């Protein structure tokens, strides 16, 4: 009873935007997408769909490279626009509305080139949308409530996400299965309907966010200098994100194809892989928040990171004769995410609010430059051997991600909390 009373009190003192964020992400999960995913890489069903439309691994890589090129062109201007606008809500809603037709157009794409063009258009709208979404999401919780808020967010959205993979699997199976493009088309229609519903909720319930700004506005070049010349933790967070996205830029477009075509996962095993992650979130997110509060952000992040390494190993070591073991890849990845909430909160808190738009712009620009060639590089490595490609995330998470996290936790935090003296 005390737990329910605590959650009721927590819910009652939250801003309207926190509740809107949960509604938005729950619907996204129900439609088969992760809450904060963007089509930065054509992974999952998108990559399989591209393959069934006739795209080769290198062409899939070229598609993702073209999307990243657009991210390069729009990332910094979009971040600057976010930093200078006074109507975050309006800019967010306009960019969301412009992206609404994308899922419907994807559903009826006749070939992979048309699908690519639609994804490029969607990438442009997301380049403007995501910096504003980040600011509103971070502002929706106080630092003191952030870990609890993130855990509650994971739990509620996971409930919506448990049923969707199996629902989509039955739809795909009914329309022809994963072997045909026709079988996959209906999921984009489901996602279009979900986006329309999300837009209605956002329009009716979203409140504007007021950011404390300097009297003198920073120029675009000044914003770049501000981020790159910031504190050591900001630079290390950027390095960690960039190294992670370098590898994921190579790997992400091919994970779905790897699970289905190499590890021989059926449509329903593929669906259960999707079910496993939110199922763990339902039962573990809120308890994990209490574990983080009891044992500290630092210790739980370390344990979560090691579990993440194991998850990445399961993906590669699963034999094609036992594709059901791939569910363990998703299960361990979800446990990692639950225990990582304290470090995720640190990653949000370490970026000063007044430069978050510029931060997103610089980050997306660097990642976008890499993303022009990393998917193509991933396609070339795939042609040499898919297993070689899938070992890369484990190596990066072990040799780069872990040392940076340990350094930040030990030298630039108080058990995962931002030191008061850290400034950008």
* pLDDT value for 70: 85
Q: At what angle do helices 181-205 and 88-99 cross, to 10 degrees?
A: 160
* pLDDT value for 304: 94
* pLDDT value for 413: 82
Per-residue b/e over 132-163, b at no fewer than 16 CB within 10 Å? bbbbbbbbbbeeebbbbbbbbbbbbbbebbbe
Question: What is the set of domains in the chain, with CATH numbers?
Answer: 14-207+219-411 (1.20.1250.20)
CA distance 126 to 135: 14
Residue-level length of the chain: 424
Percent of the chain with pLDDT over 90: 41
User: What secondary structure, in 3-state letters, does the chain show?
Assistant: CHHHHHHHHHHHCCCHHHHHHHHHHHHHHHCCCCCCCCCCCCCCHHHHHHHHCCCCHHHHHHHHHHHHHHHHHHHHHHHHHHHHCCCHHHHHHHHHHHHCHHHHHHHCCCCHHHHHHHHHHHHHHHHHHHHHHHHHHHHCCCCCCHHHHHHHHHHHHHHHHHHHHHHHHHHHHHCCCCCCHHHHHHHHHHHHHHHHHHHHHHHHHCCCCCCCCCCCCCCHHHHHHHHHCCCHHHHHHHHHHHHHHHHHHHHHHHHHHHHHHHCCCCHHHHHHHHHHHHHHHHHHHHHHHHHHHHHCHHHHHHHHHHHHHHHHHHHHHCCCCCHHHHHHHHHHHHHHHHHCHHHHHHHHHCCCHHHHHHHHHHHHHHHHHHHCCHHHHHHHHHHHCHHHHHHHHHHHHHHHHHHHHHHHHHHCCECCECCCCCCC
* pLDDT value for 358: 72
* pLDDT value for 224: 65
Q: Which residues of the chain have pLDDT under 50?
A: 2, 37-43, 214-215, 217, 422-424
pLDDT digits (tens, 9 = 90+) for 257-282: 999 999 999 988 988 988 888 888 78
> 3-state class of 414 per DSSP?
strand
* pLDDT value for 211: 66
Burial of residue 420 (CB within 10 Å: 0-12, 13-18, 19+) is exposed
* pLDDT value for 359: 76
* pLDDT value for 420: 59
| Helices (runs of H) and strands (runs of E) counted in the chain | 20, 0
* pLDDT value for 20: 93
pTM (two decimals): 0.74
Question: Residues with Cβ < 8 Å from 2, sequence gap 6 or more?
Answer: none
pLDDT digits (tens, 9 = 90+) for 333-367: 989 988 988 888 888 788 876 677 677 767 777 77
């Amino acid at each position: 009873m005390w737990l329910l009373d605590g959650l009721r009190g927590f819910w009652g003192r939250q801003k309207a935007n926190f509740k809107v964020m949960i509604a938005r992400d729950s619907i996204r999960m129900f439609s088969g997408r992760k809450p904060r995913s963007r089509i930065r890489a054509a992974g999952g069903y998108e990559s399989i769909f591209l393959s069934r439309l006739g795209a080769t691994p290198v062409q899939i890589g070229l598609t993702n490279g073209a999307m990243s090129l657009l991210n390069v062109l729009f990332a910094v201007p979009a971040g600057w626009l976010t930093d200078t606008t006074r109507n975050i809500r309006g800019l967010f809603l306009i960019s969301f509305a412009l992206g609404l037709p994308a899922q419907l157009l994807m559903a009826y794409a006749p070939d992979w080139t048309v699908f690519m063009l639609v994804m490029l258009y969607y990438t442009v709208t997301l380049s403007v949308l995501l910096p504003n979404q980040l600011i509103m999401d971070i502002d929706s919780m106080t630092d003191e409530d952030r870990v609890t808020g993130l855990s509650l967010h994971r739990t509620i959205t996971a409930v919506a996400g448990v049923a969707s993979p199996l629902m989509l699997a039955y739809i795909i199976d009914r329309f022809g299965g994963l072997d045909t493009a026709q079988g996959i088309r209906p999921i984009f229609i489901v996602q279009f309907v979900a986006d329309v519903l999300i837009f209605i909720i956002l329009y009716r319930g979203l409140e504007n966010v007021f950011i404390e700004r300097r009297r003198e506005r920073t120029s675009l070049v000044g914003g770049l200098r501000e981020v790159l010349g910031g504190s050591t933790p900001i630079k290390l967070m950027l390095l960690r994100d960039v190294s992670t996205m370098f590898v994921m830029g190579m790997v992400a477009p091919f994970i779905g194809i790897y699970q289905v075509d190499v590890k021989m996962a059926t449509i329903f095993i593929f669906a259960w892989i999707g079910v496993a992650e939110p199922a763990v979130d339902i039962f573990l997110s809120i308890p994990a928040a209490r574990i983080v509060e009891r044992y500290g952000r630092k210790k739980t992040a370390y344990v979560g990171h090691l579990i993440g390494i194991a998850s990445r190993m399961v993906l590669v070591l699963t034999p094609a004769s036992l594709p059901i073991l791939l569910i363990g890849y998703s299960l361990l990845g979800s446990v990692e995410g639950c225990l990582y909430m304290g470090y995720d909160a640190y990653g949000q808190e370490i970026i000063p609010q007044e430069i978050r738009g510029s931060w997103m712009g610089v980050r997306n620009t660097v990642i976008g430059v890499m993303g022009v060639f990393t998917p193509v590089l991933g396609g070339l490595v795939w042609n040499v051997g898919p297993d070689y490609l899938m070992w890369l995330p484990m190596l990066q998470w072990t040799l780069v991600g872990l040392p940076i996290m340990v350094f930040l936790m030990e030298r630039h935090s108080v058990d995962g909390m931002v030191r008061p003296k850290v400034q950008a």
